[in-house]
Amino acid sequence: MSRRATGLRAWFLQRATAIYLLLFIVFVLQQMIFNPPQDFSAWQGWVAHPLVGLGLLLFFASLLLHAWVGFRDVLIDYIHPTALRVTLLTLVGFVLVGCALWVLQIIFTAATA
């Protein structure tokens, strides 16, 4: 695959994830303004709803993918020593995977509680 296609894929992923993030944030704001949960158990019930849980999983997957593409592009563009760039990309990758595992734990704990 050419570098141009790789750049186009990263550009598309950045835009697609940004659109989903925006739409989900608008949805959550609408829910919190017009139908706010009255207590913690109502909040848990809202998060435990299958469509909301799926939306949250997609939201955080989009957020982490969006962050990865952004960090990757910045590091590739501005960090020229290869060893440093690879080290920083690896570090960012581990942090984002750790965040993903943490989000999964939170969502599944809320859904099963």
This prediction has a pTM of 0.86
Q: Which CATH class is domain 3-112?
A: mainly alpha
Q: Inform me whether the pLDDT recorded for 1 exceeds 50.
A: no
Give pLDDT tens digits for 62-80: 999 999 999 999 999 999 9
Tokens for 65?
A: 């993918």
Per residue in 80-109, pLDDT (tens digit) is: 999 999 999 999 999 999 999 999 898 888
Confidence class for position 5, pLDDT limits 50, 70, 90? low
